[in-house]
Amino acid sequence: MAKSVSRSSLKSESLLGILDDVQIAIDSKILKVKVFTSICKPLNGAIPGSNQAHFLKLWTFPYKYKYGKEYKESSATAYFIKGLRGALRHQVMYHCKERGLEVCHTSDKETDRKGKSLLPNGFHLIGSCTESNECIVHAVFGSKRHTSKIRVSANPIANISQKTFQSKYKLQNVHIATEKRVALSYDGGAIQDFGERYFAGEFEFEIDVSKCSLAELGLLIESAMYMQKLGRGYNAGYAQLEVQSLTLVDRIMTRKPILGDNQEFKIEEQISETPLSQEFLNSIAEWTKYVKKSQESPK
């Protein structure tokens, strides 16, 4: 018969002291980009069995909010913001072009089946520079057979009207609206209808730049300053983006197991951040030097 271990013995200082050695700190460099959009449409296509076009739906979660002296319960749905990395890459590409640098395009083909050019002037095919003189865009974003140096992420968004909401999940509260349209009607009734979802408000996304050189970081910072579009609906104006602030921080994340009341080990997470204002400025200076050197070197 297996010998049982009492809770008192598990909670002894000598045994629980072992958990302190399990603690590991992960250090990373993060560029935080705070933006505002008055109207954005990052669609994910129609969900099977539905005639509505949605964001990428993640999960529905419960939350509490304060109502007077009491707390009430409700629920909301979390969605994923699509297109952040793609929007950033396109901004970086065209920002380099404006600086007179030839860099990778997103296309790996020069023409389509009809012979129409897919490669704008000032760009080369993605990944074609790796064997001779790798461009800075490919060095940062990579390609199919080359790993990217950065990771772009954002906490999910949700539409919660109560300002005092409390949730255990990391969320960004923005306004989400659905526009319903009738595409085809007969005898006064809708035969074919669909809906489109938009969102508006402030949100933040992050770029993990831990592996970037100063010049590459400067490129990302300067390009992010000029981001103006996100998602689909460019022609209709459904992609407005205003950058409000950029912050470079050194982030240390520590996780350790904590013994709970039911003999389960919960994970406690602690995050500390230190602003890197001087490195922010140094990276822009290095990017400026890189551009000047590239423009002076013979092509």
Terminal CA-to-CA distance of the chain, rounded, Å?
79
pLDDT value for 123: 93
Write the pLDDT tens digit of every residue in 139-172: 999 998 899 999 999 999 999 888 888 888 899 9
Residue 2 predicted with pLDDT over 50: no
Write the pLDDT tens digit of every residue in 25-63: 899 999 999 999 998 887 655 545 555 555 788 899 998
Q: Is 68 left (phi over 0), alpha (psi -120 to 50) or beta?
A: left
Among 247, 37, 59, 35, smallest CA distance to 169 is for 59
Average pLDDT of span 17-26: 77
Q: How many residues does the chain have?
A: 299
Write the pLDDT tens digit of every residue in 271-288: 999 999 999 999 999 999
pLDDT value for 5: 46
Encode 67-88: b = buried (16+ Cβ within 10 Å), e = exposed. Answer: eeeeeeeeebbbbebbbbbebb
Whole-number average pLDDT of the chain: 85
pLDDT value for 167: 84
pLDDT value for 1: 47
Q: Is 14 left (phi over 0), alpha (psi -120 to 50) or beta?
A: alpha
**Contacts for 148-153: CB closer than 8 Å, 24+ residues apart:** 149/209, 149/211, 149/212, 149/216, 150/207, 150/208, 150/209, 150/211, 150/212, 150/220, 151/207, 151/208, 152/84, 152/85, 152/88, 152/205, 152/206, 152/207, 152/208, 153/84, 153/205, 153/206, 153/208
pLDDT value for 275: 97
pLDDT value for 16: 64
**What percent of the chain has a predicted confidence (pLDDT) above 70?**
83
* 118 vs 12, residue with greater confidence: 118
Residue 88 predicted with pLDDT over 90: yes
CB 184, CB 171: distance < 8 Å: no
